[in-house]
């Protein structure tokens, strides 16, 4: 099977539709994943991320639309294309009685990886996953260790496209850090399609992002372009003695694009009109009889871009992890 054309995208999806009964999980999805990128597929829970990955992995079939992976039509060359893919589902399963080393050997044998190459690859992947010196059975592993092993098994066939479905969503901060470091180490070695609802993870490891909601891609751009867009937005951090009262009052102001949340007693307000907001906040505070303790301008983040896009699409944003999860 020939490789994809040099410089061509790793994945091209056009007008993809998938319905479950009366509900369209994918509603005319268009997507292009650059070859060699760490691609962040970002959206709230229920946006269609897992459905998309399952279709790309050949585990589900679309109702209509076209898919090209590594230059080949998935519907015509599915069996061959799948040998070029590595896939980690959102809830992976493992044979608990195996060790990590034995499990990776088993996975490699399923792909007919030759013995000497497989042994070298298993050792390399165990090292990448931080499991080289772990001899315990998998059923004794922590969730983070299992996720790292899951990424390793998805790499055992040396895939040209690695697809990870929410690999950090159930991990504690240390486990998330370890998995993200593992993903970052793959940059330039393979294309990584990284589905998540955690904004901080996208900012940490991805170079390109697509924002999905209700089965459609609302925006796709390199992270650097989204960071340029941020400079059009500003965030004010305000500390008063009753931030929730201020939040309620600010929510109706024309200069406040997004109000909240209140975190550790500090209210954040996002705005495109910084001057008006800097005037309006003290006026509101005085009118409410509150004490203004801090008024600070902060750089807007990817969260603001996400809220703009998903909010204007009528989607829900409350189930997206806006900040680093607490330990």
How confident is the model at residue 45, as a pLDDT?
83
Q: 25 with 18: CB under 8 angstroms? A: yes
Q: 250 with 264: CB under 8 angstroms? A: no
What distance in Å separates the CA atoms of residue 122 and residue 196, rounded to the nearest whole number?
27
pLDDT in tens, 60-114: 999 999 999 998 999 888 788 888 999 999 888 999 999 999 999 999 999 999 9
Burial class of 171 by CB neighbour count within 10 A (0 to 12, 13 to 18, 19+): buried
List beta partners, residue 299. Answer: 234
Q: E strands along the chain, which residues?
A: 11-20, 23-33, 38-42, 64-69, 72-73, 85-88, 161-165, 191-196, 208-213, 216-222, 234-240, 258-263, 266-271, 292-299
Q: 310 with 45: CB under 8 angstroms? A: no
pLDDT in tens, 131-172: 999 999 999 999 999 999 999 999 999 999 999 999 988 788
Burial class of 149 by CB neighbour count within 10 A (0 to 12, 13 to 18, 19+): buried
H/E/C letters for each residue in 246-262?
HHHHHCCCCCCCEEEEE
pLDDT in tens, 208-235: 999 998 999 988 988 878 766 655 678 8
For the chain, list the domains and their CATH numbers: 11-222 (3.40.50.300), 234-299 (3.30.70)
Q: What is the 8-class DSSP label of residue 50?
A: H
How confident is the model at residue 52, as a pLDDT?
95
Greatest distance between any 2 Cα atoms in the chain: 76
Unique residue bearing structure tokens 């201020």: 246
């Amino acid at each position: 099977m020939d490789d994809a054309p040099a410089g061509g995208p790793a994945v091209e999806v056009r007008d993809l539709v998938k319905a479950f009964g009366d509900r369209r999980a994918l509603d005319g999805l268009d997507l292009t994943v650059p070859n060699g990128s760490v691609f962040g597929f970002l959206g709230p829970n229920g946006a269609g991320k897992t459905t998309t990955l399952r279709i790309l992995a050949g585990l589900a079939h679309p109702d209509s639309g076209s898919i090209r992976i590594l230059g080949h039509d998935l519907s015509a060359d599915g069996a061959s294309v799948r040998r070029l893919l590595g896939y980690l589902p959102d809830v992976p399963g493992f044979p608990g009685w195996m060790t990590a080393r034995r499990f990776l050997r088993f996975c490699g044998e399923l792909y007919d990886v030759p013995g000497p190459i497989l042994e070298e690859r298993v050792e390399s992947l165990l090292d990448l996953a931080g499991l080289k010196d772990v001899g315990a059975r998998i059923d004794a592993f922590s969730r983070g260790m299992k996720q790292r092993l899951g990424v390793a098994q998805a790499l055992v066939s040396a895939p040209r496209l690695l697809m990870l479905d929410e690999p950090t969503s159930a991990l504690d901060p240390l486990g998330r850090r370890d998995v993200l470091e593992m993903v970052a180490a793959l940059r330039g070695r393979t294309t990584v399609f990284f589905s998540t609802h955690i904004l901080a993870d996208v900012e940490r490891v991805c170079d390109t992002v697509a924002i999905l909601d209700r089965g459609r891609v609302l925006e796709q751009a390199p992270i650097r372009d989204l960071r340029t867009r941020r400079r059009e937005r500003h965030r004010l951090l305000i500390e008063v003695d009753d931030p929730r009262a201020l939040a309620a009052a600010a929510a109706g102001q024309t200069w406040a694009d997004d109000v909240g949340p209140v975190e550790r007693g500090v209210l954040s307000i996002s705005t495109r009109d910084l001057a008006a907001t800097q005037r309006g906040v003290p006026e509101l505070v005085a009118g409410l009889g509150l004490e203004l303790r801090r008024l600070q301008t902060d750089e807007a983040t990817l969260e603001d871009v996400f809220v703009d896009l998903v909010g204007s699409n009528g989607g829900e944003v409350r189930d997206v992890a806006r900040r680093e999860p607490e330990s």
